[in-house]
């Protein structure tokens, strides 16, 4: 049966994607039997999956069989049933399947507590979110080989219910490889491992190890920038990725290697005068598009700086909506680098007068490092949302309800201004720390709990709260270094 269903919201997208993944997992089981399958991070407009075939490589026939089996289950319009069992019953079920990381995740919970299992014609899995009523709702999907695994590609809310054009995000794949290094270094593969460390009172060890790995990666970037003789470093990433702190750390690394502190610029200081800000389709100021920046001034000043001329860099007064001059008159010395941070930094239109060989582009995003279990991960979007929610409350006086209201528009803007340019980056920096969700839970939980049932954001708040209950809290942030990216969101040590 065909259903008249179109993904219009991120909530609908989540339900569609997780329903499709459930069908995919059932198809893997039908085609490959007991072969172990994992669902990894989002990649190349899809989800990266690895199926252990005892060392055998995938064949075209394998992929065709898997694709055909998925389509068969979709055509059968199988009902997606939510079974409510006790924690004790769920643990026994996962133990019988050999899913020990799922068993360990439930250890310490009330054995009589209710727990939801998704059932698609006797294939059972935990998906941790609402799913669509049946397999027949999935009308578009694609499976294609990628590296040592497969990509399950699906339509999304930002592309009018179409599967986005394929692009090879090889730098993103390399960043996920760095995440594997982090998991090996810390010994944390699944959420149950982190919870166990927290219960043992060893959270500080994980914080130290995670921060050290990030520092070493930024050292490698700094060394490469200097070795390749770059003149301009461009840093961009979506909301709450930690761009400001990362830019400052890169500046510190370059200064350590060259003895000269780079000139740091934030593109936000080049906003047009508030009254000149273009309007979006709703008639509201559009601060996200390139039109919100004084491109003529920015390009002229970049050209002058690289020519050794003195420039008067503006400072934007966000209260009065105007640029202020005379506070930062400077020139670029010989062999001194320029570091530019902003959401449009990877868009070559911003720096069209600078030769590509002089640029070093860094795309930054918190690509979550910790798997909940072999079939579920913390989504990058949720990781950023938690960061933004905490930061908005700490520094802007916003409650969680307002952050949730603004979030869909923020993400829509990123799809136009940031994500299309990520593949042009020279490197991808994963700003996620393996411990951060357990720490951010301490800050975010009371904010989410305060959202009333009458609010339009209540359902989304409950989804996040339900998800967070699987994380043990890190109650104290004392071990988080002063220069940690997390400090950009939780604030300084008291």
Q: What is the pLDDT of residues 303-351, one digit of tens each?
A: 899 899 999 999 998 888 899 999 999 999 988 999 999 988 999 888 8
Phi, psi of 43 (to 5 degrees): -160, 135
Residue whose C-alpha is closest to residue 82's, from 42, 44, 114 = 114
What would you report as the CA-atom Rg of the chain, rounded to the nearest whole angstrom? 24
Q: Cα–Cα distances in Å, from 137 out to 6, 19, 31, 67, 71? A: 9, 9, 22, 16, 12
DSSP 133: S
DSSP 451: S
H or E segment and range at residue 111: none
Quote the pLDDT of residue 493: 87
Task: Answer yes or no: are the C-beta atoms of 42 and 153 closer than 8 Å.
Answer: no
Instruction: Give the DSSP letter string of 295-325.
Output: HHHHHHHHHHHHTT--EEEEEEETTTTEEEE
Burial 392-420 (b: 16+ CB within 10 A, else e): bbeeeebbbbebbeebeebbebbeebbbe
Strand order of the sheet with strand 149-153? 37-43, 46-51, 149-153, 142-146
Query: pTM of the full predicted structure?
Result: 0.90
3-state secondary structure of 326: strand
Instruction: Give the DSSP letter string of 327-343.
Output: EEEE-PPTT--EEEEST
Q: Which two tokens stand for residue 120?
A: 């698609």
> Which position has the token pair 């799913």?
131
**Which residues, 6 or more positions from 216, have their beta carbon under 8 angstroms from its beta carbon?**
none
Quote the pLDDT of residue 1: 65
Phi, psi of 252 (to 5 degrees): -65, -40
pLDDT means over runs of 10, the chain (494 residues) = 84 94 97 93 85 89 96 97 97 95 94 96 93 96 92 89 85 77 81 96 95 93 96 93 93 95 92 88 81 90 91 90 93 92 90 90 87 91 94 91 92 85 90 94 97 96 94 96 95 88
Phi, psi of 286 (to 5 degrees): -100, 100
3-state secondary structure of 28: helix
Q: Which two tokens stand for residue 418?
A: 């940031």
Q: Which long-range contacts (CB under 8 A, 24 or more apart) does 220-229 make?
A: 221/250, 221/253, 221/362, 221/427, 221/429, 222/250, 222/253, 222/254, 222/256, 222/257, 223/253, 223/257, 224/360, 224/427, 225/250, 225/254, 225/337, 225/360, 226/254, 226/257, 226/258, 228/360
Quote the pLDDT of residue 48: 92
Quote the pLDDT of residue 103: 97
In tens, the pLDDT along 159-207 reads 888 998 888 877 888 877 777 777 777 889 899 999 999 999 999 999 9
Q: Roughly how many angstroms between the first and final C-alpha of the chain, as a whole number? A: 59
Quote the pLDDT of residue 352: 84
Strand locations in 30-110 (E): 37-43, 46-51, 80-86
Q: Cα–Cα distances in Å, from 223 out to 170, 220, 261, 457? A: 21, 5, 15, 45
Largest CA distance in the chain: 72
Pairing of strands 359-365, 427-430: parallel
Beta-bridge mates of residue 236: 363
- Cα-to-chain-centroid distance, residue 398: 22
Task: Answer yes or no: are the C-beta atoms of 353 and 302 closer than 8 Å.
Answer: yes
Question: How many Å apart are CA 17 and CA 60, to the nearest integer?
Answer: 24
Angle at which helix 436-449 crosses helix 191-199, to 10 degrees, equals: 90
Phi, psi of 232 (to 5 degrees): -135, 130
């Amino acid at each position: 049966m065909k259903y008249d269903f179109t993904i219009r919201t991120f909530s609908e997208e989540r339900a569609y994607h997780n329903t499709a993944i459930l069908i995919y997992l059932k198809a893997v089981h039908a085609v490959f039997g007991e072969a172990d399958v994992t669902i990894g991070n989002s990649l190349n407009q899809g989800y990266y999956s690895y199926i252990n075939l005892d060392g055998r490589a995938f064949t075209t026939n394998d992929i065709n069989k898997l694709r055909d089996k998925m389509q068969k289950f979709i055509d059968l319009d199988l009902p997606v049933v939510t079974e409510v069992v006790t924690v004790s019953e769920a643990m026994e079920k996962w133990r019988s399947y050999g899913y020990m990381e799922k068993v360990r995740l439930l250890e310490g919970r009330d054995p009589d507590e209710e727990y939801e299992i998704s059932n698609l014609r006797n294939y059972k899995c935990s998906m941790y979110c609402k799913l669509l009523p049946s397999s027949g709702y999935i009308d578009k999907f694609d499976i294609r080989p990628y590296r040592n695994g497969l990509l399950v590609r699906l339509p999304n809310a930002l592309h009018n219910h179409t599967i986005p054009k394929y692009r090879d995000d090889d730098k993103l794949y390399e960043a996920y490889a760095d995440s594997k290094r982090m998991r090996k270094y810390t010994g944390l593969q699944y959420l149950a491992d982190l919870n166990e460390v927290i219960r043992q009172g060893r959270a500080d060890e994980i914080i130290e190890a995670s921060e050290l790995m990030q520092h070493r990666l930024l050292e490698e970037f700094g060394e490469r920038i200097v070795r390749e003789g770059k003149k301009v470093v461009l840093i961009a990433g979506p909301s709450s990725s930690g761009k400001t702190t990362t830019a400052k750390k890169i500046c510190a690394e370059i200064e350590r290697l060259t003895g000269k502190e780079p000139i740091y610029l934030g593109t936000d200081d080049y906003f047009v005068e508030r009254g000149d800000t273009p309007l979006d389709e709703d008639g509201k100021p559009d601060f996200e598009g390139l039109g919100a920046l004084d491109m003529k001034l920015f390009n002229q000043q970049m050209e002058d700086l690289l020519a050794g001329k003195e420039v008067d860099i503006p400072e934007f007064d966000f209260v009065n909506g105007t640029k202020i001059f005379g506070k930062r008159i400077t020139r670029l010395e010989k062999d001194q680098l320029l570091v530019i941070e902003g959401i449009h930094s990877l868009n070559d239109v911003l720096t069209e007068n600078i030769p590509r060989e002089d640029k070093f582009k860094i795309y930054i995003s918190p690509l979550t490092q910790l798997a909940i279990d072999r079939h579920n991960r913390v989504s990058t979007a949720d990781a950023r949302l938690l960061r933004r929610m905490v930061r908005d409350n700490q520094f802007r006086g916003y409650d969680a309800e307002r952050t949730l209201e603004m979030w869909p528009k923020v993400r829509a803007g990123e799809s136009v201004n940031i994500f299309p340019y990520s593949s042009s980056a020279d490197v991808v920096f994963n700003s996620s720390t393996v411990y951060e969700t357990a720490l951010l839970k301490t800050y975010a939980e009371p904010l989410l709990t305060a959202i009333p049932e009458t609010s339009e954001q209540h359902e989304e708040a409950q989804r996040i709260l339900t998800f967070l209950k699987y994380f043990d809290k890190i109650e104290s942030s004392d071990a988080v270094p002063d220069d940690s990216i997390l400090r950009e969101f939780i604030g300084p040590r008291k």
